[in-house]
Amino acid sequence: MIEIIKVDKTYLDDIAPLFDAYRIFYGQNSDVPAARIFLTERMDKRESVLFLAHHKGIPAGFTQLYTTFSSVTLQPVYILNDLYVDVKYRKMGIGEALLEKGKTFCKSKGYKGLALETAIDNPAQKLYERLGWEKESHCFHYFWSAE
């Protein structure tokens, strides 16, 4: 059984290790205390919305949404910046449940939609497309690094 909850600080012990595992997946060093601080700051400043998936009561995955805006359409938009499911719980519908929760939440807030980016070789693209996400081909994504 999958249960998705909106995270507040009482769930930091559940989500911080998953957030740390997510960062490790993307080549960062493990640092659970720093993960807790980062997540606490996002919550304190109301800069993101986090959803946590439990499978039979065990923390199994999460997603994090950040707010931005479309100047062209004059509407708020969520960026689905982080999506992670623990390796032990993959292929059980948890990623799909988290994506659907994000869509439902977005609609409930009256936002224009959800945006995400992913690696070119990420096999989750099939899941995104099956759930109605459309790959943009009319623009390029650029990033400038201050480092």
The CATH number of the domain where 100 resides is what?
3.40.630.30
Q: How many other CB atoms sit within 10 Å of the CB of residue 118?
A: 14
User: Domain containing 58: what range?
Assistant: 2-130
122 belongs to a structural domain: yes
Average pLDDT, the chain: 92
> Could you tell me if residue 124 is inside a domain?
yes
Average pLDDT over residues 32-54: 97
Q: Distance (Å, rounded) from C-alpha 92 to C-alpha 121?
A: 21
pLDDT in tens, 90-146: 999 999 999 999 999 999 999 999 998 877 887 777 877 888 878 887 777 777 778
Q: Cα 66–135–7 angle (5° rounding)?
A: 25
pLDDT value of residue 129: 81
SS (H, E, C) the chain: CEEEEECCHHHHHHHHHHHHHHHHHCCCCCCHHHHHHHHHHHHHCCCEEEEEEEECCEEEEEEEEEEEEECCCCEEEEEEEEEEECHHHCCCCHHHHHHHHHHHHHHHHCCCCEECCCCCCCCCHHHHHHCCCCCCCCCCCCCCCCC
Please check whether residue 65 lies inside any domain of the structure.
Answer: yes
Please check whether residue 79 lies inside any domain of the structure. yes
Percent of the chain with pLDDT over 70: 99
Tell me if 78 is assigned to some domain: yes
Task: Let me know if residue 63 belongs to a domain.
Answer: yes
Least confident of 13-27, 78-92, 107-121: 107-121
Q: Is 90 inside a domain boundary?
A: yes
- What pLDDT does 32 receive? 97
- Total structural domains in the chain? 1
Q: What's the pLDDT at 117? A: 84
Instruction: Please give the pLDDT value at position 30.
Output: 97
User: Would you state the pLDDT for residue 78?
Assistant: 95
- 30 occurs within a structural domain: yes
